[in-house]
Structure formats: C-alpha cells, structure tokens
C-alpha cells in the first residue's frame, strides 16, 4: 500500500516535472521475476526507473537510510520503504554481500522485479565502469531470472555535484531485450563464468547507453580522482 501511494505521489511528480522518455518498455514482463541491471549515473536513478514502470521494482539500499534516529530518520526510512528500497547492513564486506544476494533471491522468488547496479556505485564521470561479478551473476544463476539491461540517460545532468536546485530537463531510460543464462546453470562457483556473465550484461548496457566503457571498477576510479584532488594546489 505504501509503495502504491509513493508511486502515485513521487512517481507522478517526477513524470510531470521531468517528462522522462522511455524506449523498450515492452521488454519488462507484465508478471514473473526479472532482474533490471542498470548503469548508475545519479541518486535519482532508483526513482526514475520505478516511476516509468507499472510494476514495483526493489533495489538494495544502505541500512543507515532506515535506522537514523529522530523524526527525520523515521521520515527517511518511510520514504525509502515507500519507493521500494530494501535495507541491507553493509558493515561487513563479505556478510553484506551475502545478505544482499539473499535479499535479492527472496524478491525474485516472490515473482517480483529486482533492480541492481552492477558497477556497485555511481559513475564518477559519466563513463561506464566494470561490473562487479559477485552479486548480479550469482543472483541470476541462483534464480534463473532473466536479466534485462537498462540504460539511464542524462540523469547525472539533473543535479550535478554542488547544485542544490535540480535542472528541469528530460532524462531517458532505454530498456534492452532480456538476457538468459541457462547455459551457465550449476556453474555458480566458477569465477570465470561469473565474470563472463557480468561482462555480457555490461556490454549490453554499453550499447544501450552509448557510454565510453572503462575496464576498471568505479570505486577504484573514485579513489584515483580523490588522490588527484589532494595533490592539486589549493587556491589562495
């Protein structure tokens, strides 16, 4: 019920204000489980994609969004639950990964849509980075759910870093044909299979988005950019 209310309020508001365009919406099934694997350009990606789809999409979110104290914390938790975010404790790297995978499998076993960003974090510069093979591939092989590649277009331009007021413009969402990986079933523990599956999905996302592909992880790129920023002389 809460998701429906948020869908009407937030989703309708986003569509009215920004008028996002959509290509390939017919590739999202009307029922049954599917994994929506998307590039990640902006915090708003997790709101725009569900806004343009008729079905509920569940994403993984940091547990901190749901446990902050006070009235603001409660309102934040209610908002994230309302837009389909699922809390996962990321305090321990390995435990967090297993918890996220288990949560994703549970969503798909209920016949629902699960959304994931294979890059693991937002792109620091608009380019597409290497997908992390652990989550997406393991969930796809464990459930047999099709993977639907998604490209968010220009969402990072709506509210660039340092800008408080969003820019009213039309972002886009391009949805590709479902990918199935039945040929890899039973090979969930083969790291080469996990890598191959992930790379195939990232290639599909790259073709949809038109982004330049960089074969390193986005987290490594962010660290490199932070180190470069430290080395620059400070303005006086």
Please report, in tens digits, the pLDDT of each residue of the chain (236 residues total).
556 666 667 778 889 999 999 999 999 999 999 999 999 999 889 889 999 999 999 998 766 656 667 776 666 666 666 666 776 665 555 556 788 899 999 999 999 999 999 999 999 999 999 999 888 999 999 999 999 999 999 999 998 777 778 889 999 999 999 999 999 988 989 999 999 999 999 999 999 999 999 999 999 999 998 888 888 776 54
Q: What is the pLDDT of residue 198?
A: 97
Reduce the DSSP state of residue 218 to 3 states and report it.
helix
Separation of alpha carbons 148 and 58, rounded Å: 14
Separation of alpha carbons 78 and 84, rounded Å: 10
Full-model pTM: 0.88
Closest C-alpha among 43, 48, 40 to residue 19? 48
In order of their start, the domains of the chain are 2-231 (3.40.1130.10)
| Cβ 50 vs Cβ 57: under 8 Å | yes
| Cβ 87 vs Cβ 63: under 8 Å | yes
**CA torsion sign, 6 to 7 to 13 to 17?**
positive
Burial class (CB in 10 A: 0-12, 13-18, 19+), 76: middle
């Amino acid at each position: 019920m809460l998701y429906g209310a948020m869908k009407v309020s937030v989703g309708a508001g986003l569509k009215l204000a920004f008028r996002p365009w959509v290509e390939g919406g017919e590739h999202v099934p009307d029922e049954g489980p599917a994994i929506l694997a998307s590039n990640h350009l902006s915090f708003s990606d997790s709101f725009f994609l569900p806004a343009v789809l008729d079905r509920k999409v569940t994403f993984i979110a940091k547990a901190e969004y749901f446990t902050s104290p006070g009235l603001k914390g409660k309102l934040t938790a209610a908002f994230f639950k309302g837009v389909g975010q699922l809390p996962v404790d990321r305090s321990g790297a390995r435990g967090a990964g297993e918890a996220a995978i288990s949560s994703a499998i549970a969503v798909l076993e209920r016949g629902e849509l699960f959304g994931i960003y294979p890059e693991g974090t937002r792109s620091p510069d608009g380019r597409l980075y290497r997908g992390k093979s652990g989550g997406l591939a393991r969930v796809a092989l464990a459930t047999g759910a099709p993977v639907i590649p998604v490209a968010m277009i220009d969402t990072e331009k709506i509210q660039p870093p340092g800008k408080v007021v969003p820019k009213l413009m039309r972002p886009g969402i391009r949805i590709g044909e479902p990918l199935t990986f039945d040929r890899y079933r039973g090979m969930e523990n083969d790291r080469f299979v996990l890598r191959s599956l992930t790379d195939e999905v990232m290639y599909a996302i790259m073709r949809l988005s038109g982004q330049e592909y960089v074969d390193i992880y986005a987290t490594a790129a962010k660290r490199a950019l932070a180190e470069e920023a430290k080395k620059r002389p400070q303005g006086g």
